[in-house]
Chain A
Amino acid sequence: KAGVTQTPRYLIKTRGQQVTLSCSPISGHRSVSWYQQTPGQGLQFLFEYFSETQRNKGNFPGRFSGRQFSNSRSEMNVSTLELGDSALYLCASSSNRGGTGELFFGEGSRLTVL
């Protein structure tokens, strides 16, 4: 079964621009979470979606937003990019059908803001 797929893998933007990142979860997984990973802060939770609804949100400014579609695919958007937004953005999916509920991560989208 295919894993979590994120696109694009790498991108370079300039300050003030906006960016949209895409995530396709593992087939059958309806929960999708987004994390920002930086060397200084580690993995920080951005938000989580389930059945097209945002269920949880981390402590990030409103410039960070997301959505989930009926097929569970998710996108996140960052507007008015700042230099500090340079990071690896990781998407993770999980199954709500019992078990440990571990997160399955994609390889991430590495964003560089110049």
Chain B
Amino acid sequence: GQNIDQPTEMTATEGAIVQINCTYQTSGFNGLFWYQQHAGEAPTFLSYNVLDGLEEKGRFSSFLSRSKGYSYLLLKELQMKDSASYLCAVRDVNRGSTLGRLYFGRGTQLTVWP
């Protein structure tokens, strides 16, 4: 089966750096996604990793190690508006997998304090 684990909650202060970890166990692997979801809003796409290494996009970076089944999302120069739930999701590659089927972790609720 598929198992995606991430911490339930994290807190940090404005201007700081926070790292949200995600570990996964899937029968196959075809990419890992990070989404941000503010309360009452739609999840929005942040990043995608399919090869090992770091992908940087402005204040956000995402890292992947396929051999370890591990990813992290790094948020720099935190702002109050970064308070949200961050969702880690994996796309499988085996039979039964399709483009639209992602396996999601339960999300990490990040609170940024002034």
Contact = CB atoms under 8 A, between A and B. Distances in A.
Say whether A and B bind each other.
Answer: yes
B100 A103 contact: yes
Interface string A1-37: 0011000000000000000000000000001110100
A53 to B, nearest CB: 11
Contact of B100 (A3, A33, A106, A107): A33
Interface residues of A, number: 29
A43 interface: yes
B33 to A, nearest CB: 6
B43 A31 contact: no
A100 B107 CA distance: 21
Question: DSSP majority for the A interface?
Answer: strand
A103 B42 contact: no
**Which residue of A3, A43, A55 has the most chain B CB atoms within 10 A of its CB atom?**
A43
Interface string A33-50: 101000001111100101
Interface string B28-44: 00010101000011111
B100 A100 contact: no
B107 A42 contact: yes
A56 interface: yes
Given A102-B45, A106-B42, A55 B98 contact: yes
B42 A100 contact: no
B42 A105 contact: yes
A48 B100 contact: yes
B97 to A, nearest CB: 8
A72 interface: no
B87 interface: yes
B42 A101 contact: no
B43 A90 contact: yes
Interface of A: 3-4, 31-33, 35, 41-45, 48, 50, 55-56, 58, 90, 92, 94, 96, 100-108
Interface of B: 31, 33, 35, 40-45, 48, 50, 87, 89, 91, 96-107
24 contacts: A31-B98, A33-B101, A41-B106, A42-B105, A43-B102, A43-B104, A45-B101, A45-B103, A48-B98, A48-B99, A50-B98, A56-B96, A56-B97, A56-B98, A56-B100, A90-B43, A101-B91, A101-B99, A103-B100, A104-B45, A107-B40, A107-B41, A107-B42, A108-B42
